[in-house]
Amino acid sequence: MRIALINGSPKVKRSASENILTALKKLFAESDTVLEFKLRTPTLSSRKIEEISKCNVLVFAFPLYVDEIPSHLINCLYQIETYLKANADKDITVYALVNCGFFEGRQNSTALEMMENWCKKAGVSWGQGIGIGGGGMLSGMTNVPDGQGPMKCMWNALNVVANNIKNCTSSENIYVSPSFPRFVYKLGGNAGWRKQIQANGLSRKDLFIKK
Ligand SMILES: Cc1cc2nc3c(=O)[nH]c(=O)nc-3n(C[C@H](O)[C@H](O)[C@H](O)COP(=O)(O)O)c2cc1C
């Protein structure tokens, strides 16, 4: 089995999508061929499109942008779709792991629906999606042991998806949120914004400027 792990975050480093794919990768057997791709810009080379299309399973991990798929990734999907339609013999199953800044994993439901619709257009099978809330925390959690901590629910969901991937089976989407109170996440998020604005030479009150 050839599995493509496709990171659709435009971030060069410290992306939550990368952490999610790193966790998923550990759940595959050594006999599986796992290929990793980063789609950070709107244009894909023909070579990359061909390499992706040679895989039996495509796993897209990406951030939610304005309740949707990031625009650069939509462009990439369109290019892959065009290639797949011209090479209609492809037997491919697609899975999507979407993370967002909001606490609730359900926020990602529209983006997952868009991915499912894309599968229909591209003539490939839809496998399953995970909608992950609390993505803002994920890049800072690289030292938390697998299967533990506030994102344990995500780990459990990844195990379910990994099993479905191994069998190329489809299942209902799963939505996960951090396993601690929402207000604690909000406090942490606000502290993060204050830290960032100060690091950029502005003050806390500048956070409230309206244009
Ligand atoms: C342009 C932009 C739009 C965003 N829109 C949303 C949104 O609509 N809902 C949400 O919950 N988070 C939104 N976010 C937050 C990201 O989804 C969140 O930071 C995510 O964890 C980033 O994932 P990554 O590190 O894999 O890129 C947005 C972020 C950016 C930069």
Distance CA 76, CA 85 (A): 14
Distance CA 153, CA 173 (A): 14
- Minimum CA distance residue for ligand 1 atom 17: 100
Of ligand 1's listed atoms, the one at least distance from the Cα of 67 is: 8
Q: Number of structural domains, the chain?
A: 2
Q: Looking at the structure, tell me whether residues 39 and 83 fall in a common domain.
A: yes
Give the domain CATH number at 131.
Answer: 3.40.50.360
Expressed in angstroms and rounded, the spacing between residue 66 Cα and the centre of ligand 1 is: 7
Other residues' Cβ atoms within 10 Å of the Cβ of residue 137: 23
Q: Looking at the structure, tell me whether residues 56 and 80 fall in a common domain.
A: yes
Average pLDDT over residues 89-96: 92
Q: Looking at the structure, tell me whether residues 129 and 203 fall in a common domain.
A: no
Q: Looking at the structure, tell me whether residues 208 and 186 fall in a common domain.
A: yes
Q: Looking at the structure, tell me whether residues 109 and 168 fall in a common domain.
A: yes
Structure confidence at residue 33 (pLDDT): 94
pTM, two decimal places: 0.94
- Minimum CA distance residue for ligand 1 atom 22: 63
Q: Looking at the structure, tell me whether residues 119 and 28 fall in a common domain.
A: yes
Average pLDDT over residues 80-105: 94
Q: Is the pLDDT of residue 210 over 90?
A: no
Which residue did the predictor score with more confidence, 112 or 142?
A: 112
Of ligand 1's listed atoms, the one at least distance from the Cα of 102 is: 11
Q: Looking at the structure, tell me whether residues 198 and 170 fall in a common domain.
A: no
Average pLDDT over residues 155-161: 96
Which residue, 40, 88, 35, is CA-closest to 59?
35
- Minimum CA distance residue for ligand 1 atom 7: 66
Residues having CB closer than 6 A to ligand 1 are 9, 11, 15-17, 63-67, 99-102, 107, 135-136, 139
Residue 187's domain comprises 181-211
Mean pLDDT of the chain: 94
Q: Looking at the structure, tell me whether residues 176 and 186 fall in a common domain.
A: no
Q: Looking at the structure, tell me whether residues 117 and 207 fall in a common domain.
A: no
- Minimum CA distance residue for ligand 1 atom 21: 135
Q: Looking at the structure, tell me whether residues 97 and 110 fall in a common domain.
A: yes
Structure confidence at residue 139 (pLDDT): 78
